[in-house]
Amino acid sequence: MNKKNVMVLLGGILFGFGLAYSGMTRQEIVLSFLQLKDLGLLFVLGGAAAVTFITINVIAKFLKTPLLGGEFKPRRLPFSRNVIIGAVIFGVGWGLSGQCPGSAVASLGTGNLPVLLGLAAMFIGAYLWGFLDSRR
Amino acid sequence: MFPLGIEPYLIGGIIAGIGVSLVYLTTGLHATQSSFFTTTLSWLSKRKHFQKERNIKERNWRVVLATGLIIGALLYTLTLSPTGFWTTSVQLWRLTLGGLLVGFGTRFSKGCTSGHGISGLASGSKTSLSAVIVFMGIAIVTANIVQMLGISP
């Protein structure tokens, strides 16, 4: 494995550890947040976004280029109708199942095998969008 | 509002953020998740959408990232977790139908809770901010409707 992938693996391990630690990998906890019974999940998103904000806006500017080469590009996508329509569809799925892509993948590591069905369905959903997008 | 306190949530979020930061500072890549489905499908589908150069280029490291997420959650389960291995009791039809909408919607929207929620917000993207407000608002409405219909777990 090249150096880049080693760092992606290490970062992914921390990412997955944090998601499990915070309870994001448990659909019941996510649903109790969405039912507004336990607002703690705001701190997961807030904590992760705040750390990453400092990384992108302060540390990366100080380093100038990534340690293994390449360039820093903040993730700013142009606004489009698709972003919003897609977010509506994603929101219905998240609210129905308590699963989002990262937390569903990480959830496998907690032994939560039923989520395999959810992940298979995510692949099918992503395929359907790709199928439609290829025809345009 | 916070029956379990805020500590586990905040600490978990910070650890996740450090993981995303480590990937960014060393490689310049954004450790976001929903693209993983599209880039992985590029091995299976010849359709134009999946065969974009970017998807081919990213597909290896995105599998590595997903593997890392699983290993990280496994390490937590084997060490600090008070309950150990765990299985959801949310009904399978909810996981399946929900998953279908999550897969379709996140690719349509070009991001998910990590892409728009972590990397997008941290990049100061107004597009991502609008996406987060919409998907979180809709998810809250949906979860409450499902609960009102008496569907549980």
* ipTM, interface predicted TM-score of the complex: 0.97
Inform me whether the C-beta atom of residue A58 falls under 8 Å from chain B C-beta atoms: no
CA–CA dist A44, B123 (Å, integer): 17
The type of residue at B29 is L
Q: Alpha helix locations (H) across A56-108?
A: 60-63, 81-97, 101-107
Task: List strand residue ranges (DSSP E) for chain B, in order.
Answer: none
Nearest to A12 among B8, B68, B88 (CB): B68
Entry pTM:
0.97
Give me the residues of chain A with pLDDT under 50, please.
none
Query: Scanning every residue of chain A, which has its alpha carbon at the shortest distance from the alpha carbon of B142?
Result: A95
SS3 B93: helix
Do B36 and A64 meet the contact criterion of CB atoms below 8 Å apart? no
Q: What is the pLDDT of residue A1?
A: 84
Query: Scanning every residue of chain A, which has its alpha carbon at the shortest distance from the alpha carbon of B125?
Result: A76
The model's pLDDT over B23-76, given as tens digits with 9 standing for 90+, comes to 999 999 999 999 999 999 999 999 999 999 999 999 999 999 999 999 999 999
User: For chain B, how long is the longest CA-to-CA vector?
Assistant: 49
